[in-house]
Structure 1
Amino acid sequence: MAHDNKELVIEHFEFAPISIIDEVIDSVNELLYQALIGLENFIYKYLNSDEEIEQ
């Protein structure tokens, strides 16, 4: 029964809905990876700067 529903959904949408979820997860992972690289670069520049920072 569940197998028939899955085939019907795939036939109706012409793709497996799980493929969209996989694409979204991959995109979010890539964005987070790039954000962390940017944060890492910022921290290295901040720690290596010669300026004294008042707190």
Structure 2
Amino acid sequence: MGKISLRKDIQDEVNRYGQRGQRPDLDAVKALLDGIEKLNVQIEEIDKLLVRGR
């Protein structure tokens, strides 16, 4: 998941949950959390490469 699609999917889930009578889709939330974790790992790897290049 790229940052833009991840951000959109998070917003969609928040908007859906904000509607009356809706419950969180736990599978969707878990997938979003996994996506966030993977993106964080990629960011940390890029950061390490940039620090080494200095």
TM-score (norm 1): 0.53
Which blocks of at least 5 consecutive residues in structure 1 are unaligned? 7-15, 48-55
CA distance in structure 2 between the aligned counterparts of 1:26 and 1:19, rounded to whole angstroms: 10
Deviation at 1:17, TM superposition (A): 7.3
Runs of 4+ residues deviating >6 angstroms: none
Tell me, which stretches of 5 or more residues in structure 2 are unaligned? 1-20
Where does residue 33 of structure 1 map in the other structure? 40
Give the share of equivalent positions with the same residue, in percent: 9
Larger RCO, structures 1/2 (Cα 8 Å, 6+ apart): 2
* Larger radius of gyration between Structure 1 and Structure 2: 1
For residues 3-55 of structure 1, the C-alpha deviation after alignment (integer angstroms, 9 at most, x for no partner) is: 6xx8xxxxxxxxx87011001100000000010000000000011xxxxxxxx
Aligned residue pairs total: 34
AA in 2 matched with 1:44? V
Residues of 2 paired with 1:17 and 1:44: CA distance? Answer: 39
**Equivalence map 1:38-53=2 (5 Å):** 38-47=45-54
Question: TM (normalized to structure 2)?
Answer: 0.54
